[in-house]
Amino acid sequence: MKAKLIFIGLVVLSVFTVNAQKGVDTGTRYGLGEDSIRCLENISLYQNYYHIKDYNTSFQHWRVVYTECPASSRDLYRIGSILLVWQMQNAQDVDKQKDYFRQLMENYDQRIKYFGNDARFPESWVRGRQAIDYINYCPEDPLREKALPWLKYSIDERQADADADVIDGYMRVLDGLYRSDNEKYRDMYMTEYLRVGKILDTRIARACKFVDNYKLAQNNANALFIASGIANCTTLESVFASKVQESKSDIESLNTIISLFQSAKCTESEVYFDASSFAHVINPTAQSAAGIAYQSVKKEDFLKAVDYFEEATKLEKVDSVKYDYQYAIAAIYAQMKRYTQARTHALRAATYNPKKGEPYILLAMMYADSNIFPDDKILQKTVYWAAVDKLERARSIDPSSRERAQQLINTYRQYFPTKEEIFFKPELRVGESFVVGGWINETVICRE
């Protein structure tokens, strides 16, 4: 009988013990017995306090669930990241901030342990979010080097499904590391820039809901790559020469290459010309037309260049870029000494960007070079009045042109008619208007 009572007591004790096990120990979502009740209560409490934005109280209950029943739900870790960031940002003590950051990173690791195989948000997605929080909040890694493999893994696995900020973060971290150690990261930076560019092209082509975020990431990647200095013309040619040939039927890749070469001011490169020609056959754009135009200038086929710059202007939507194309036409005609046509396009360029002084400087130089009065050396000097008027206009509207305009003003003023010369010309009266004829046909004020 005594043995029977002992046996019953052991069974009861065993049942009680089983019913009081935590989820972390049993591998179950909530644990067993009283521990499962404790887990469910704290889940309800942390969620309720979270929804009313009492993050401090929510955190206390969340911590119990995180520690005792870590397999309870995927959402435990999503909310945990928010609560830990809040605690970190509101902690006054630096050591506490660092500890919350450590817990934040552990939160991601534990999520992967229990939910890394989640179909919707697998480990590759979680690592991407972990990397972004690492970049944003890491207190002791200025280059964010530890985040690099997480970012790369996330992009490698997810490809065009990678989040835009993960792609953007990857290129920013890689850019920073390249700047700190050119030799170590040079090849990786160039290779990854090209690879990520293709991923972004694919994502953007989908025209998804967040397409603007991906376009921004693409623009940022291009800007970083160019600003890094790695994108000099020689480097770009060595990287893209074979790629242009491989991509001659891939309009997205060709357009990326064209944009990159234009941004890096490498518009005299044969690689840039080839990309532009291939792209123009597939789908004529302003950029591809401009590429052929620049190639034609290099080959001194100026009239062909004019035709393609005109086509580029018609296809382009941005006025500041139209300005570039029209000014290029004006410069070509000026070089050919076809001044009337040059003026037409210089003034047209000015309508696209009224704050630019270069068109007026170009006009001034053409005026000064013109022989309007071949048989009258005094009247011929009046072209300098017209030239200086244009230079004064350039100087007044464009601070970047001010120095160049002033230099030319100082030069041209030396050739103004003197007081004595004006005296011998009845058609010239100081302070009165005078028409400089010929192709110039400008009304100026007579002055010494």
**Residue 429: inside a domain, yes or no?**
yes
- C-beta separation of 23 from 31 below 8 A: yes
Supply the pLDDT for residue 9.
38
- Cα-Cα end-to-end distance for the chain: 134
Domains: count for the chain? 1
**Residue 422: inside a domain, yes or no?**
yes
Supply the pLDDT for residue 20.
64
Supply the pLDDT for residue 240.
83
The pair of structure tokens assigned to 37 is 């009740």
- Which amino acid makes up residue 167? I
Supply the pLDDT for residue 19.
54
Position of tokens 């009224």? 354
Supply the pLDDT for residue 21.
86
**Residue 302: inside a domain, yes or no?**
no
Supply the pLDDT for residue 337.
96
CA quadruple 132, 184, 179, 141: dihedral, nearest 10:
40
**Residue 13: inside a domain, yes or no?**
no
Local confidence pLDDT in tens for the 448 residues of the chain = 444 433 333 333 344 445 568 878 888 999 898 889 999 999 999 999 999 999 999 999 999 999 999 999 999 999 999 999 999 999 999 999 999 999 999 999 999 999 999 999 999 999 999 999 999 999 889 999 999 999 999 999 999 999 999 999 999 999 999 999 988 998 899 889 888 988 998 898 887 778 999 999 988 998 898 888 887 888 788 878 888 988 889 887 888 788 888 878 888 888 988 998 999 999 998 988 998 999 899 899 999 999 999 999 999 999 999 999 999 999 999 999 999 999 999 999 999 999 999 999 999 999 999 999 999 999 999 999 999 999 999 999 999 999 999 999 999 999 999 999 999 889 999 999 999 999 999 999 999 8
Supply the pLDDT for residue 191.
83
**Residue 195: inside a domain, yes or no?**
no
The alpha helices in 247-382, defined as continuous H runs, are 251-263, 270-282, 286-298, 302-315, 319-335, 339-352, 358-368, 377-380
Q: Which long-range contacts (CB under 8 A, 24 or more apart) does 91-100 make?
A: 94/139, 97/139, 98/139, 98/140
Instruction: Please state the φ and ψ torsions of residue 117, each to the nearest 5 degrees.
Output: -100, 10
Using CA atoms, how far apart are residues 374 and 353, in angstroms rounded to an integer? 35
pTM: 0.59
**Residue 415: inside a domain, yes or no?**
yes
Using CA atoms, how far apart are residues 274 and 152, in angstroms rounded to an integer? 32
**Residue 385: inside a domain, yes or no?**
yes
Using CA atoms, how far apart are residues 446 and 108, in angstroms rounded to an integer? 79
Supply the pLDDT for residue 448.
83
Residue numbers of the domain that contains 385:
350-448
**Residue 68: inside a domain, yes or no?**
no
